Structure formats: C-alpha cells, structure tokens
Amino acid sequence: MATNPDSVRILVPVGMLGAGFPPETVARGLALGADVIAVDGGSTDSGPYYLGAGTAKTARAAVARDMRLLLRAAATAGIPLIVGSCGTSGTDAGVDWVAGITREILAAEGLDLRLARIYSSQQAAELDLDRIRPLPPAGELDRVTLESCANIVGMMGHEPIAEALTAGADVVLAGRATDTAVAAAYPLLKGMPAGPVWHAAKIVECGGQCTTNPRAGGVLATVDATGFTIEPLDPANACTPTSVAAHMLYETVNPFTMREPAGTIEVGEAVYRALDERRVRVEGSRFEPAAQHTIKLEGARITGYETMSFTAIRDPHILGQIDTWAALLRKMISEWVSGTIGLGEGDYTFDIRRYGYDAILGELDPAAGPPREVGVMLLVRAADQETATAVAKVANPLMLHLPTPDMDYLPSLAFATSPAETERGAVYEFVLNHVVEVPSPTSLFRICLEDNR
Amino acid sequence: MTVVADLALEVRSKNAGPFWVTMEVFARDADAYAVLADPSFLDASVIARLYDVAAEGVQFFRIPSLNVVKISFPRPVVQGSLHDRDIHAGQHHVPLAMLAVPPVD
C-alpha cells in the first residue's frame, strides 16, 4: 500500500465550469505541482429554473472550452480532474450533458482518460419521509409536496467521488455535490486531516473569489498535516489574510460553522497568517464528524406558466402620478380580463413592476422622488401558457394607451419589443429545504465507471 | 447626513442558498466598525424594521478581526416566485447602506 504524501495540492481554475479562465493560470498550477484539479459546475444561486427544467445555465461551447483545457492539463500532469454539480443543477441530465461534451473532447484530442459519472437524481417514491428532516426556515415535508417536484437531487459529500477515484477514474463527473466535496475528496483520500481539508475546500470553492483580484483566474491550496497554504495561480494576483478570511462570509448564513454530509466545519478559531505578499497560511480549522450522516435534498416544482409584457413611460405628467397610474392599470387589467375572457381571481395572478421607480425594493426602498423614465413590466402567471398569454394580450391596449385619471386624451407609451409579450414557459420554485438521514454516504448515489480505454 | 455606506468599504447582499439572504458591511476601519457593530445602533430590531421581517429570525455576526458586521435572515420572498424582483438578492443591501448613522458627540 502506498504511503500518504506529506501534502496535497488542489488546483481550482475557476469558480464555475464554463465561466472561463486564462490558460496560463492552469499551466502555472501544474508547474507548482498540482495533485488534483477540482471545479464546481453548478449552483442554486440563479434560481429554481435550472433544477426544475434540468438544463444548464452555462453555454455548451463555454463548458467545452474550459473542459478541453482542463482535460489536457489532467492528461499532461497525470492527475485526476473532478467536476461537481454538472450542468448547473447536478441532475442526471446535467451529468450526461457534461459527459457528452467530455467524450467528444477525449476522442478529438486522443486523450486516454477513464471517466466516471456519479448520478444524484432522486425518485420521490423511493425517499422515506420518516427519515427526512426540515432545515430552518422550512417546515415538515409531506408526500404531496415531495411528489410535486419536477426534479429532486441529493447533495453528495466527498465519499462517492473518493470511491470513483479509488475505482480508477481519471475524470469524475459528479451530479449535485456540496461545493466543498469536490475539492475535499482527493486530499481526504490521501490521508490529509479533515479540518484543514474542509476549510481549504470552502476557501477555494469559488476560485479566485478569495484573492484580491477575483477576475484573474483560480487558486492553488496546499493541504498538509497542520493546516493549508493558499495562493493565486496568477503571479500578479494575491491572497491576503483578509481576502481569504472574508471569503467565509460569501453566500453563507453562518461564517464560522458549515454542515457537510459527514459533519460540521468549524473555523471560528482558525488563524490566517501572511507567508509573504501573496500567500496565506491557515491553521486551527476543525471538522466535527456527525453522529448521523445526512444528505441535503433540493427539489423544484412547476408553479405555473408566465407571459411577460414590457412597456415604458417618459411623459413627465404620467410619471408625476406613477402610483396612481399603476393602481389604475392593476384595476383595469382585472376588469378587462373579467369582461373579455371571463377569468377572475384564482385563474391567474400578475405582478406590475415599475423599473426606474421602485421595482427592486418596493416598499423597502429608502429613496423617493419622481423618476425620469420608468419601465413597466407586467408578469402574468397562470396554470397554462395560453391563459397567461391571453391575459397579457388583453392588457396590451392598457400597457399602450392607459392615461392617468386627469388626462382627457389617450397617450401612447413605449413598448420595448414587438410583439410586446414574451412567453416565459414553465416557471418553477424550490420546495425542498430538507435533509435525509442515510445509512451510508454513498447509498443515494450511482457511480458508473466507463471502460473507454 | 452620514449613512452606513459612508463608513464602509463595501456593503453587499446575496442569497445564502434559496431560503436565506445574507449581507455584509465591511467597515472602513476599527473606528467605523465600533460604530456599526454597536448593538444600540444596529441590531435585529433595526433589520426587522428595514426589511419587514421577524426580528427573531435575524442572525448577527460581528467580526472585529475583519471589521465586518454580517447579518443573515430567512428570505422574505421565495426565490423565483412571482413577486421576487431580485433573484440573487444582490440589491437588497441598499436599505441598510442608506441607514442614517447617529452623529458622534
């Protein structure tokens, strides 16, 4: 049996596969002795659509461009490449999408790398409600809600990835995984201590986000027996104790403790120290194993179909009474829809947003005052697309000509496009914020090792 | 009138997963941090008023080593719902950033 190394170097080229990075930064990482390349392929941050529809946020050509560079690098250096949360949401379709892109590149480049796919989609009927626990602020889950999901994924920890590597994979394409598991799997497999590994994995998960210039490419983390050292791949970029420590704040509820499937990362007592002008040493991070292994579930369901219409106002007279005008628009839409196509409350809902006035913050907005111009978005939601579009079309003459009550003529407002209406298709919402207790960290995941040699 | 943003290098907000929003105030220096981290100026009740949320759900993290005040609370509007006007919650720092800071006497 091979003895464990003294340290493991993790190369993270970019925060999200498909976002792009300078090729020379990866070459630099290899020159620094990278032992593994890890990159995240997804996130829930852009909303429930990508999980619900099972499609990627990133462009195929952009993912292929990044993958080509990373596959070449992995083959050149003879080190593994791990991609997590393939296809944005990590559904089985997302894994297959990235696998298809990868196979094309391997064939075109003549690269001899063994591929493993790890699937994380879950069937509602196979999940045991008695083993599912809510996370705040969610409540208890019922079977109807669970089964309403268009897609459900389980968020894997490092274990399925480590298993695929042990089985001989050179390239691991994982379904939904924690951002940290992607970077933690290889150093844990090589016997590095859990505290520094998980903390390093959290720091590198967004690539250059923990540096002073997040746009200058990724980072290299070196984990050893007592801690980890982090540096940017671009020699002109820097990590400082502040830039590294501040990354724990990013998109986290609690910056000191973070739950993983196997336990909890505790970094409250970690010490960040500058080794020089661009490298930071971190020690004192801990990982507390959990008594019960849990897998977080993510699920999205269709809530309806939307049609959007967008007009704009520049006339100072209307803008001076924008609240009155918008209230009248709301009232008139309801009346006209009822009078023309016979639909009432319960058949559809809509939102009127005044961009340039208060669309983003609404009543929370601390500023007030007459706007110079306002874009008016009408967003109609109904149980089917036809109904949503019918409502938006009935509203069309109002979006074009509605005057304020004191005007005795019909103004014509500025539609942004022709046609004014855009069908948005199915819209989704996240409905799961729960974990499921599992007998084994790999039980919800299917590992497929390809024999493509 | 001095506001929170005047005492900060950056005030930012973002989703922390689909069900939470988190925001950070990076104070300019230790003196600015002392003002911003003072619970008699900024606490859960102030956040509850600014964002129309329940004070009990608001979590505060005051981090002097970074001169940072971090605040997290459950997202009041579900991400991607009909009335969600800020999918990433990336513009919701503004009510906090424009909060008036009491004059120092």
Q: Which domains does chain A carry?
A: 7-120+156-293+438-449 (no CATH), 302-430 (3.30.70.600)
Indicate whether B103 belongs to any domain: no
pLDDT of residue B103: 81
Pairing of strands A219-224, A171-174: unpaired
Contact A359 B85 (CB under 8 A): yes
Q: What is the Cα–Cα distance from B66 to B60, expressed in whole angstroms?
A: 14
- pLDDT band, very low/low/confident/very high, at A421 (cuts 50, 70, 90): very high
CB-CB under 8 Å, A47 with B87: yes
Which residue has tokens 């024999």?
A: A451
What pLDDT is recorded for position A369?
83
- Partner residue opposite A429 with nearest CB, options B59, B65, B80: B80
Q: How many domains does chain B have?
A: 1
pLDDT one-digit tens code per residue, A389-404: 999 999 999 999 999 9
Round to the nearest angstrom and report the end-to-end CA distance of chain B.
14
Name the band, by pLDDT with cuts 50, 70 and 90, for residue A336.
Answer: very high
Residues A64-117: pLDDT tens digits?
A: 999 999 999 999 999 999 999 999 999 999 999 999 999 999 999 999 999 999
CB contact under 8 A, A361 and B92: yes
In a domain, B37, yes or no: yes
At residue B100, the pLDDT reads 97
ipTM, 2 decimals? Answer: 0.93
Instruction: Nearest by CB to B80, from A48, A250, A364: name it.
Output: A48
Question: And the tokens for B77?
Answer: 């509007």
Mean pLDDT (whole number) for A123-128? 96
Nearest CA in chain A to B22: A253
pLDDT band at A446 (very low <50, low <70, confident <90, very high): very high
> Is the CB of residue B26 less than 8 Å away from at least one CB of chain A?
yes
Mean pLDDT of B91-105: 91
pLDDT tens digits for range A263-321: 999 999 999 999 999 999 999 999 999 999 999 999 999 999 999 999 999 999 999 99
* Preceding amide of A137 cis, omega within 30: yes
3-state helix, strand, coil in chain A (%, to 5): 30, 30, 40
A329 has pLDDT over 80: yes
Residue type, position A318, single letter: I
User: Helices in A304-437 by DSSP H: which ranges?
Assistant: 316-319, 322-341, 385-401
> Predicted confidence band at A7 (pLDDT cuts at 50, 70, 90)?
very high
Q: Cβ A360–B86 below 8 Å, yes or no?
A: yes
Residues in chain A: 453
pLDDT at B105: 57
Amino acid at B52: D
Of A303, A353, A428, the CB nearest to B85: A353
On whether residue B104 sits in a domain, the answer given is no
How much of chain B, in percent, has pLDDT values that exceed 90? 90
Assess if residue B31 is contained within a domain: yes
Which of A425, A191, A406 minimizes the C-alpha distance to A308? A425
Rounded mean pLDDT, B60-66:
96
Host H or E run for residue A163:
helix A159-166
Nearest CA to CA, how far is A32 from chain B (Å)?
Answer: 30
Judged by DSSP in three states, B45 sits in: helix
Inspect the interface and report whether the beta carbons of A360 and B18 lie closer than 8 Å: no
- Percentage of chain A beyond pLDDT 70 is 99
Cβ proximity of A339 and A391 under 8 Å: no
Q: Does B99 touch chain A (CB under 8 A)?
A: yes
pLDDT surpasses 90 at A3: no
* Contact status of A44 with chain B (Cβ, < 8 Å): yes
Helix (H, G, I), strand (E, B) or coil at B65: helix
B95 close to A (CB below 8 A): yes
Q: How many CB atoms lie within 10 A of CB A167?
A: 12
- Model confidence, pTM: 0.95
pLDDT at A453: 56
- Closest residue of B to A43, CA-based? B17
**What pLDDT does residue A141 have?**
95
pLDDT higher at A53 or B82: A53
DSSP letter (8 states) at residue A119 = E
- With CB atoms and an 8 Å threshold, state whether B15 touches A251: yes
Q: How far apart are CA A361 and CA A319, in angstroms?
A: 18
Please give the pLDDT value at position A43: 85
For residue B93, give its domain range.
Answer: 4-97
Residue B23, domain member (yes or no): yes
- DSSP 3-state assignment of A218? coil
* Interatomic CA distance for residues A178 and A246, integer angstroms: 20
| Residue B48 domain-assigned (yes or no) | yes
**CA atoms within 13 Å, Cβ hemisphere of A407:** 18
Q: Residue A229's pLDDT band (boundaries 50, 70, 90)?
A: very high
> Please, what is the average pLDDT of chain A?
96
For chain A, say whether B48 makes contact (Cβ under 8 Å): no
A1: pLDDT confidence band, cut at 50, 70 and 90? low
Put simply, the chain A residues between 142 and 181 with a CB less than 8 A from any chain B CB are none
| Reported confidence tier of residue A451, pLDDT bands at 50, 70, 90 | confident
Q: State chain B's mean pLDDT as an integer.
A: 95
Cross-chain residue pair A361–B24, CB shorter than 8 Å: no
Q: What pLDDT sits at residue A219?
A: 98
Q: Is residue B9 a part of any domain in this protein?
A: yes
pLDDT tens profile A169-219: 999 999 999 999 999 999 999 999 999 999 999 999 999 999 999 999 999
- What local confidence, expressed as pLDDT, does residue A235 receive? 96
b (16+ CB within 10 A) / e for A288-314 = eeeeebbbbbbbbbbbbbbbbbbbbbe
